[in-house]
A = this chain, B = another copy of it.
Amino acid sequence: MKLPAIVVNFKIYERGVSKEGLKTAKCLEEKAEDLGISLAIAVNAIDLRMFAEELEIPVFLQHMDSVGFGAHTGHICAEMLRDTGAYGVLLNHSEKRMLLADLSAAINRAKKHNLKTLVCADTVESSRGVAALGPDYLAVEPPELIGGDISVSKARPEVVSGTVEAVAKISPDIPVLCGAGVKTGEDVKRAIELGAKGVLVASGVVKAKDPAKALEELARGLP
């Protein structure tokens, strides 16, 4: 995933799943190509194969468990993603938080199976813990701002800069994205100025009247 990047979490919004979701994704992919920006998306497990087969951009699965093959009804393991075309996994999103031990194991398993990990954290402090587990990318998102109208880079810039600084102390090679309330080019510009290498967005794009236009607006803030 080229940086800076815009990662769109499709969650399980009606417009983010199934054929409708794929249509949205293709439309975003096309726009990203036009704009020459780096775009990736995160999709649900049911639609992963379909999305990954039909898209060129990196596709992350929204959650993966820490186990391997075996007697684990209802779980998803890294080995199962090998032939799906998935680029990686989003882990520890505030809507799907993980036990520290499981998160650590899931990151290690993802690595072993060549899946990139984009791991979420909710505060500067927990970002340190996440960074020390060695993810490929870290996204900081204050839960109270998720889905809201004020972006983290505006409302709590110290969370973005603080996380960038804290993560750099643990491991200078982990790019930090930020998310929560990110909707305008100005929000993205501030995030980049604060040291972020991109943004993690969801409702601002997927629930926008015109997702491609919303992406274009965000892209205005990229350097």
Q: Which A residues fall within an 8 A CB radius of B?
A: 9, 11-14, 17-19, 42, 44-50, 62-63, 67, 69-77, 79-84, 90, 92-105, 107-108, 121-123, 125-126, 128-134, 146-147, 170, 202-203
* B147 & A71 in contact (Cβ 8 Å cutoff): yes
Other A-B contacts than A75-B96, A100-B100, 15 sampled, CB-CB below 8 A, are A9-B73, A11-B72, A12-B73, A14-B69, A62-B73, A73-B90, A97-B100, A98-B99, A100-B103, A103-B129, A104-B123, A104-B125, A105-B126, A128-B134, A129-B129
Determine the distance from Cα of A129 to Cα of B134 in the docked complex, in whole angstroms: 9
* A132 & B75 in contact (Cβ 8 Å cutoff): no
Q: Can you offer 9 A-B residue contacts whose CB atoms are under 8 A?
A: A13-B70, A71-B147, A73-B95, A97-B99, A97-B101, A100-B100, A101-B126, A128-B134, A129-B130
* B126 & A100 in contact (Cβ 8 Å cutoff): yes
Contacts of A9 in B (CB 8 A): 73
Identity of the chain B residue whose Cβ is nearest the Cβ of A45 in the assembled complex: B45
* Known contacts A69-B12, A83-B18, A128-B133: A101-B122 contact under CB 8 Å: yes
Determine the distance from Cα of A99 to Cα of B96 in the docked complex, in whole angstroms: 10
Contacts of A202 in B (CB 8 A): 71, 73
User: Distance (Å) between the CB of A79 and the closest chain B CB?
Assistant: 7
Identity of the chain B residue whose Cβ is nearest the Cβ of A203 in the assembled complex: B71
Determine the distance from Cα of A99 to Cα of B120 in the docked complex, in whole angstroms: 12
User: Distance (Å) between the CB of A105 and the closest chain B CB?
Assistant: 8
User: Distance (Å) between the CB of A71 and the closest chain B CB?
Assistant: 5
Contacts of A76 in B (CB 8 A): 12, 44-46
